[in-house]
Amino acid sequence: MTGSDPAPAVTGTDEHLSPRITLEGPLVLQSGVSLSPVTIAYQTYGALNADKSNTILICHALTMDQYVAGPHPSTDKRGWWDALVGPGKVIDTNRFYVVCSNVLGGCMGSTGPKEINPETGQPYGLQFPVITIRDMVQAQARLLEQLGIDKVFCVTGGSMGAMQALEWAHRFPDRITAAVPIAGSYRHSAQNIAFHEVGRQAIIADPEWRQGNYLEEGTTPHRGLAVARMAAHITYLSEPSLHRKFGRKLQDRDSPTYGFDADFQVESYLRHQGYTFVDRFDANSYLYITRAMDYFDLAEESSGQLANAFKDSPVRFCLISFTSDWLFPTAESREIVHALNANAAKVSFVEIETDKGHDAFLLDEPEFHGTLRGFIEGAATSVGLGSANKETSSD
Amino acid sequence: MTDAGTLQNASAPDRIRVDLQLVADQIQPGSRVLDVGCGDGILLAYLRDSKQVDGRGLELSMARVSAAVRVGLAVIQGDLETDLENYPANAFDYVILSQTLQATHNPKEVLEDLLRVGRHAVVSFPNFGHWKVRLSLLFRGRMPSTPTLPDQWYNTDNIHLCTVKDFVNLVNSLGVTIEAGFALNGKGRPRQYGATGRLANLFSEQALFVLGRPQN
């Protein structure tokens, strides 16, 4: 609600949904496939300044969407980064123009497997081409071009959002001032690919999935998608945080039932996570987006040397990791830092002490928020976007 | 404190600790500087604001790194003995290493690496040749514990202590040029005598050297 800006060409169907833009011309994907038309749904917060220099692009994670702040249209929750984004907050929408688009392949209005394939008049389903992180970023770059934004002040995001921020810095170093990849990596690890494969197989094994044609056939692979979500959700937490939250406590009962009911609170919690997820997420999108993450490897793209990915980079980087994140552990952020050091790039790196696991990037972690605020402030000052009181003096 | 009171990265204080000021005085304005063991970034912030230095920092303590990043500095958490090697040659005009050389496992390699990454190195260290240190061992028969070196033998980080003379010998053996040297008292104020002589080795609590690459 806060300043979502409907000014540019809106082709959205539902009033309450985000504005959408159809990219001019096809999008040539990393796989070589030419995809057209491509529509991107996005949200904006705050106002673009006169010289169009105050954009912060936020890249969302696997199961998030463009609703970063304010009320979410299809859940009763607030946006996934509502704690960070808003007037006077760490990403201050009084000063910055925040853009977040639903990723290519997503299911919240951007072109993806659940949208209609113009060639068949049916949902794409598995006819949708496999996409990559690079394709997502290309789509974002084209969106920004069409919004008239040539230079982005800062690109940030957590998890898969961090991958996109790194891809931005790699591919468009002259179009961004700063990049803040949070709880991310330059490549998806074997363990992470393995977890994704469990999730995908759960979906594919659900008879309601119907070879991906569930939308035409009027079914929903909700069991498979829920199991995928449950398995993934465990990887977003940590053993200490699960123990603190649930321990071995029983759910609404005093003794075990000696059956397969959700006796334990942790089981009940996971089931709830799974069931609520299927209401807001498309199973095929889950297949495609997890695949995009699996294919991501910036080192391989750069002749095996990650340092080559950031050759003479003018971008100011701030990497943030979390001690208890075992999905994207600190060591992977540190490898990026080393690659950036090899280019003597301007890089800050902080590992935040927390027991909340990978999900910490979504939670209220004062040390994390303080670090991000300080970095943004420093980078803003360096390009004359400094403090709020300077704003009036600009031109 | 300043008019930009809302900013956490408001300007660094106009005045800094006397020992840091001496280090800052060795740095040319507008140069590229790596501060190894930069703490919460006081010196880097001062160099940025008063000498327009393009600075980077490396710091072991996460709390201090966080504090430095919060004031807008490019500081990473890391260990100089494993992370310095990632930097390319000639990346910086100056590499600063304050009061840390004696705590490294391989001081010689560290010195060489400092002068690979930077064209100049600014290095300070406590002088183990100071008369109080000598007397402590001679008369008390105990490992020295002085105001400059307050730790006990079992809990000190200083595993490679040296005297000023030892340091100068090492530097000479590496062919490194001493571009400037200062004998310092316990507070880091320069003494009146030269940094490489006998007086310095006996009476200075610490020393600061600006080193240049071997000429060949």
Complex ipTM: 0.83
The domain spanning residue A247 has which CATH number? 1.10.1740.110
Tell if the CB–CB gap between A351 and B62 is shorter than 8 Å.
yes
B13 domain residue, yes or no: no
**A353 chain-B contacts, CB cut-off 8 A:** 62
Average pLDDT, chain A: 93
Helices B164-173 and B107-117: angle between axes, nearest 10 degrees: 60
The model's confidence at residue A388, banded by pLDDT at 50, 70 and 90, is low
In a domain, B2, yes or no: no
DSSP result, B46-65:
HHHHHH--EEEEEES-HHHH
Partner-chain contact B70 A373, CB within 8 Å = yes
Domain that holds residue B179: 18-212
Pairwise CB contact (< 8 Å): B69 & A388 = no
* Option in B71, B74, B78 nearest A346 (CB): B74
Let me know: does A114 contact A215? Beta carbons within 8 Å: yes
Domain assignment present for residue A6? The answer is no
Q: Of B8, B76, B91, which has the smallest distance from its Cβ to A347's Cβ?
A: B76
A265-290 residue pLDDT tens? 999 999 999 999 999 999 999 999 99
Angle (nearest 5°) at CA B65 between B61 and B70: 150
Of A290, A316, A349, which closes a domain? A290
Alpha helices in chain A (DSSP H): 133-146, 160-171, 190-205, 214-217, 222-236, 239-245, 265-280, 283-295, 298-301, 330-341, 366-382
Same domain for A178 and A311, yes or no, is: yes
Any idea which residues of A carry the catalytic annotation?
A: 159, 325, 358
Tell whether A15 is covered by a domain.
no
Give the end of a domain, one of A272, A290, A308: A290
> Looking at chain A, how many residues does it have?
395
Please indicate, yes or no, whether residues A271 and A149 belong to a single structural domain of this protein.
no
Q: What is the pLDDT of residue A389?
A: 45
Domain boundary among A259, A290, A321: A290
Partner-chain residue, chosen from B74, B87, B88, that has the shortest CB–CB distance to A348: B74
Query: Inter-chain contact A381–B9, Cβ cutoff 8 Å?
Result: yes
Average pLDDT (B116-136) is 95
**B12, part of any domain:** no
A13: in domain? no
| Model confidence pLDDT, tens digit, residues A13-44 | 444 578 999 999 999 999 999 999 999 999 99
Q: CATH no. for residue B92?
A: 3.40.50.150
- Judged against a pLDDT cut of 90, whether residue B14 lies above it is answered with no
Q: Which domain holds residue A144?
A: 20-190+298-393
Both tokens of residue B102? 């004696």
Give B9's contacts in chain A (Cβ within 8 Å): 374, 377-378, 381
Chain B: give the shortest CA distance to residue A5, in Å: 28
Domains identified in chain A, total number: 2
**Can you give the CATH number for the domain in which A105 is found?**
3.40.50.1820
> Is residue A14 situated within a structural domain?
no
Is B62 in the A-facing interface, judged by CB distances under 8 Å?
A: yes
Is B10 part of any domain?
Answer: no
Judgement on whether residues A253 and A320 belong to the same structural domain of the protein? no
In the stretch 315-344 of chain A, residues with CB closer than 8 A to chain B read 316, 318, 334, 337-338, 341-344
Number of domains present in the structure of chain B: 1
Q: Which pLDDT belongs to residue B13?
A: 60
User: Could you tell me the pTM of the whole model?
Assistant: 0.90
Contact between A350 and B77 using a beta-carbon 8 Å cutoff: yes
**Looking at residues B149-158, what average pLDDT do you find?**
91
Whether A11 is covered by a domain: the verdict is no
Taking CB atoms and an 8 Å limit, are A377 and B78 in contact across chains?
A: no
Cα–Cα nearest to B68, from A51, A13, A349, A193: A349
Q: Which of A117, A161, A154 is nearest to A137 (CA)?
A: A161
Q: How far apart are CA A207 and CA A214, in angstroms?
A: 10
From the list A337, A342, A387, the residue facing B7 with the nearest CB is A387
